[in-house]
Amino acid sequence: MDILQNFIDGRYQDPIHKNYLDNIEPATGLVYGKTPNSCQDDVELAVNAAQKALPQWQAMPLEQRADILYAIAQGIESKLDELALAESVDNGKPVSLAKAVDIPRAASNFKFFAHACSQFASESHSMTGTATNYTLRQAIGIVGCISPWNLPLYLFTWKIAPALAAGNCVIAKPSEVTPKTAALLGEICQAAGLPKGVLNILHGSGASVGSAICNHKKIKAISFTGGTATGAAIATQLAPQFKKLSLELGGKNPALVFADCDFDDTVEQVFRASFANQGQICLCASRIYIERPIFEKFKQALVVKAQALIPQDPASPSSKMGAIVSKVHLDKVLSYIELAKSEGGKILVGGAQVNLAGRCANGYFLQPTIIENLPNQAQCNQQEIFGPVITLQAFDNDEEALTLANDSQYGLAATLWTNNLARAHKLSEQLNTGIVWVNCWLLRDLRTPFGGMNHSGVGREGGFEAMRFFTESKNVCIKY
Ligand code: TXE
């Protein structure tokens, strides 16, 4: 039985009250470990450690800080196989996907922000002959980073790296559903020479330790990625505390496929955007709008690919689709498929749980599912399902496509598939999302602002947006 510990003050420690949660492997449905269910007392321990570490960390020369972050990146890369397997076991994603995407990106996150240490600058404003102003961008102090289960180490490090690069000490909490790689990050940071207390990793449920992190008066900023409902609860909790808050929430992302697209390439990419990571990425496409002249042909091409995508044991090197992250989430996604049927949807392919043989007989596997014939206002077109489920609708012109795409409470990421340059620029301006990909998906430059609007969140991560979030700006005006 794999019993995890918190990582506080540079060492692994049991939760003070010895409370634990079961850690279940989605591929088998079996408990394979125990995760600390930490609470306020554990947060207190972590904050004290961070408080002690803060002066030395903030005073450290930038080059030295950067060297440590680069060393963490190298530590992650050196443990690629171990981390990828751990991620796959915890999340249910194919180990090949963790190896190709999740773990390399975790290393890239640290490399990118190690470099940002020395690139992040601030402005000055001259009032010629009278005064000069200069802006200081100083570390906030102790910050909280709370991350979800879909891209565990990828999103955990996407918050921790800039927070550290900006000179903060961090209290970080991974999802209790996928704690393993976060636990392994502790020893990697220790080996890289990160001073003790600079990064503290706490495990447990949102209601206990998550809430305690948000409430602690010495934790001055919270960076959160997770569900919209949880984001709203955290925002309500934090409002009277006047803490900085970054919310990366859910999405219900439209794909607009025009008749002039590169057909075969677009089928491949829209299919990947729909079902990668079992559809459990906030950036996944879930509402596919197809221009009517190619609707039937494009629909059939997607259906054929979905029929060929068979969920397999994620530990198998050939697995292209793994398990859904938990029984609770599997039931949530299945409930939406039932809802779609009651709303008049037609299941073109999939729609059912898959029972594999052998060790995965009790795992959480679901067929990739494609639904048509649902109106845009159907709940399955308005609510985030966050699984391998997409809906198809036809449109006749650009205005109709835009109206359908923008008819959503979310606003995270749209994809646009066309070779018409004017259309691409015009619709990109008009789409109500924080991200627009044209003839591509998940092509990422870490310098770019990352995030969404409306129910998809508040604020942006990435590049200097992240460095600014994790610092306080101060204007100094000197009269002469
Ligand atoms: O996320 P939660 P869950 C969506 C997806 C999913 C839904 C819920 O639709 O079905 O969110 O997923 C911590 N104070 N996304 O339950 O609850 C929690 O412990 C402080 C989209 O996994 O939002 C975990 O570490 N922390 C998302 C983290 O918040 C709290 C990716 C996320 O948990 C807390 C994942 C509280 N009150 C799910 N309650 C994306 N945008 O990528 C929970 N937490």
Q: What is the mean pLDDT of residues 343-356?
A: 98
pLDDT band for 172, please (50, 70, 90 cuts). Answer: very high
The segment(s) of the chain belonging to CATH 3.40.605.10 are 2-249+454-479
The segment(s) of the chain belonging to CATH 3.40.309.10 are 253-438
Q: What is the mean pLDDT of residues 68-95?
A: 98
Per-residue pLDDT tens digits for 386-444 = 999 999 999 999 999 999 999 999 999 999 999 999 999 999 999 999 999 999 999 99
Query: What contacts 311, CB < 8 A, 6 or more positions away?
Result: 319, 321, 322, 323, 354, 356, 365, 366, 367
Q: How far apart are the C-alpha atoms of 235 and 245, rounded to whole Å?
A: 8
Four-residue CA torsion sign, 39, 42, 48, 53: negative
Amino acid at the residue 125: H
Q: What is the mean pLDDT of residues 45-73?
A: 98
SS (H, E, C) the chain: CEECCEEECCEEECCCCCCEEEEEECCCCEEEEEEECCCHHHHHHHHHHHHHHHHHHHHCCHHHHHHHHHHHHHHHHHCHHHHHHHHHHHHCCCHHHHHHHHHHHHHHHHHHHHHHHHHCCCCEEEECCCEEEEEEEEECCEEEEECCCCCHHHHHHHHHHHHHHCCCEEEEECCCCCCHHHHHHHHHHHHCCCCCCCEEECCCCHHHHHHHHHHCCCEEEEEEECCHHHHHHHHHHHHHHCCEEEEECCCCEEEEECCCCCHHHHHHHHHHHHHHHHHCCCCCEEEEEEEHHHHHHHHHHHHHHHHHCCCCCCCCCCCCCCCCCCHHHHHHHHHHHHHHHHCCCEEEECCCEECCCHHHCCCCEECCEEEECCCCCCHHHHCCCCCCEEEEEEECCHHHHHHHHHCCCCCCEEEEECCCHHHHHHHHHHCCCCEEEECCCCCCCCCCCECCCHHHEECCECHHHHHHHCEEEEEEEEEC
Active site residue 214: no
Portion of the chain with pLDDT greater than 70, in percent? 100
CA 224–ligand 1 middle distance (angstroms): 9
Nearest ligand 1 atom, CA 283: 42
Return the pLDDT at 410.
Answer: 98
Whether domain 2-249+454-479 has CATH 3.30.300.130: no
Does the beta carbon of 150 sit less than 6 angstroms from any atom of ligand 1?
A: yes
Amino acid at the residue 413: A
Residue in 21, 39, 146, 216 to alter for ligand 1 test, most ligand atoms within 8 A of Cβ: 146
pLDDT band for 329, please (50, 70, 90 cuts). Answer: very high
Active site residue 248: yes
Give the closest residue (by CA) to ligand 1 atom 24.
175
Query: What contacts 368, CB < 8 A, 6 or more positions away?
Result: 274, 275, 279, 306, 309, 321, 349, 350, 388
Per-residue pLDDT tens digits for 437-461 = 999 999 999 999 999 999 999 999 9
Return the pLDDT at 204.
Answer: 98
Q: Which residue has the tokens 């590049």?
A: 463
Return the pLDDT at 166.
Answer: 98
Q: How far apart are the C-alpha atoms of 76 and 358, rounded to whole Å?
A: 32
Per-residue pLDDT tens digits for 355-367 = 999 999 999 999 9
285: which 2 tokens? 């496409």
CA 149–ligand 1 middle distance (angstroms): 8
Nearest ligand 1 atom, CA 213: 20
Nearest ligand 1 atom, CA 282: 42
pLDDT band for 473, please (50, 70, 90 cuts). Answer: very high
CA 225–ligand 1 middle distance (angstroms): 7
Q: Please provide the average confidence, as pLDDT, over all residues in the chain.
A: 98
Return the pLDDT at 118.
Answer: 94
Radius of gyration of the chain measured on its C-alpha atoms: 23
Neighbours of 199 (CB within 10 A): 29
CA 254–ligand 1 middle distance (angstroms): 22
Among 248, 384, 461, 465, which one carries the catalytic annotation? 248
pTM: 0.98
Does the beta carbon of 233 sit less than 6 angstroms from any atom of ligand 1?
A: yes
Relative to beta strand 169-173, strand 142-146 is parallel
Return the pLDDT at 322.
Answer: 98
Return the pLDDT at 215.
Answer: 98
CA 358–ligand 1 middle distance (angstroms): 31
Per-residue pLDDT tens digits for 112-129 = 999 999 999 999 999 999
Does the beta carbon of 226 sit less than 6 angstroms from any atom of ligand 1?
A: yes
Does the beta carbon of 230 sit less than 6 angstroms from any atom of ligand 1?
A: yes
Among 282, 284, 360, 380, which one carries the catalytic annotation? 282
Greatest extent of the chain over all pairs of C-alpha atoms, in Å: 80
Give the closest residue (by CA) to ligand 1 atom 19.
206
Query: What contacts 318, CB < 8 A, 6 or more positions away?
Result: 312
Does the beta carbon of 452 sit less than 6 angstroms from any atom of ligand 1?
A: no
pLDDT band for 177, please (50, 70, 90 cuts). Answer: very high
CA 318–ligand 1 middle distance (angstroms): 30
**CATH code, residues 253-438:** 3.40.309.10
Query: What contacts 335, CB < 8 A, 6 or more positions away?
Result: none
Nearest ligand 1 atom, CA 250: 41
